[in-house]
Amino acid sequence: MANDQSTKVVTGKVRLSYANIWEPKENDQGQLKYSCALLIPKTDKETLRKIKAVVDALKAEAMTKYKGKLPANFKLPLHDGDEEKPDDPNYADHFYVNAYANTKPGIAKPVGKDAVGNTKFVEITDTTEVYSGCYARVSLNFYSYDNKSKGIGVGLNNIVKVQDGESLAGRSSVNEDFAEEEFDVDGEDDWMN
User: What's the CATH code of the domain at 20?
Assistant: 2.40.50.140
**Rounded Cα–Cα distance for residues 192 and 185 (Å):** 12
* Distance separating alpha carbons of residues 112 and 121, to the nearest angstrom: 8
The strand pair at 32-41 and 150-163 is best described as: unpaired
Strands 79-80 and 94-101, by their bridges, are antiparallel
pLDDT tens digits, residue range 5-29? 589 999 999 999 999 999 999 988 8
Residue (of 162, 145, 75, 35) closest to 111 by Cα position: 162
The tens digit of pLDDT for each residue in 85-127 reads 999 999 999 999 999 999 999 999 999 999 999 999 999 999 9
Q: What is the pLDDT of residue 191?
A: 47
Q: What is the pLDDT of residue 50?
A: 97
Does residue 141 carry a pLDDT above 90? yes
- What is the rounded CA–CA span in Å between residue 100 and residue 120? 26
CB of 74 closer than 8 Å to CB of 58: no
Q: Please tell me the predicted confidence (pLDDT) of residue 72.
A: 87
Query: At residue 160, does pLDDT exceed 50?
Result: yes
Q: How far apart are CA 16 and CA 122, in angstroms?
A: 19
pLDDT of residue 122: 96
Strand 119-123 to 106-113 pairing: antiparallel
**pLDDT computed for residue 187 by the predictor:** 56
Per residue in 30-89, pLDDT (tens digit) is 889 999 999 999 999 999 999 999 999 999 999 988 888 888 889 999 999 999 999 999
How many domains are contained in the chain?
1
Average pLDDT of span 164-179: 74
The pLDDT of residue 170: 64
What range defines the domain where residue 139 resides?
5-192
Which has more pLDDT, 124 or 170?
124
**What is the Cα gyration radius of the chain?**
21
